[in-house]
Amino acid sequence: MGPAVRLLLLLLAASLAAACASTGATPRPFPTPKPPGSTPTSHAPAHNGQTPNAEGQSAANGGSPIAYSVAGTALSHRGTPYRNGGSDPSGFDCSGFVRYVFSQHGVIVPRTVSDLFRAGYQVATNQLEPGDLVFFTTVAPGASHVGIAIGGDQFVHAPSSTGEVRVEHLGASYWSARFVGARRVL
C-alpha cells in the first residue's frame, strides 16, 4: 500500500472516530430503535442525592412550564435527519439539536457536548424532569453524546446510526451502560 493510500485511510479513520463533543458528529454504532411498546431490559444507573433548583425546590416538586415546552419542541423534531455539524431543522447533530431546541424558548446553551456537560447543575437520575440534559460516553471517556429528557425513562436525541432524531429509553442496555450523568439548565 502506497503512502497516499495510507494517508487517505488514516484521514478516513480519524473522521469516523470523531465524536459529537468535538466535531458535532455522533459515533456509531448506536442501537437500532425498538418497536413501539417494547420495554427496556435494564435501568439507568441511579444516583443518590438531590440538588435543589434555583428556587430551592427539588426536582420532585415538578418541572417548570418551560421545561415541558422544551421537551415538546424536541419531540416535534422526531424524524429530522442527522447532519454532522447540523444545528437547524434541515439536519442536526446531538449538541446542535440541543442548542436549537433550547434557543426556540429563548434559552442559549453551549454548542458542544463537553461545554453542555459543565452547564447548569447535576441532577440525580431518579430526579430527572423533562428538559434535563442526559449524557453518554460513546467513543471516548467522558461525555460525548447528549439528549433531552422528555419524562419517565425516555429521552430524545440526534444519533447518526439511523440518520434521524428519535426517542430512546435510558434503561435500555446500550444507554444505561454508557450513561455518565444529567444536568439541569432550566
Residues with a known catalytic role: 94, 145, 157
Query: 17: part of which helix (H) or strand (E)?
Result: helix 3-17
Q: Of 81, 101, 102, 103, whose CA–CA distance to 92 is shortest?
A: 81
C-alpha cell at 74: 424536541
Q: Per DSSP, what are the bridge partners of residue 168? A: 155
Q: What are phi and psi of 147, to 5 degrees?
A: -140, 175
Counting every residue, how long is the chain?
186
Query: Do 33 and 166 contact (CB within 8 A), yes or no?
Result: yes
DSSP structure string for 114-151 = HHHTTSSEE--GGG--TT-EEEE-SSSSS--EEEEEEE
Beta-strand pair 154-157/145-151: antiparallel
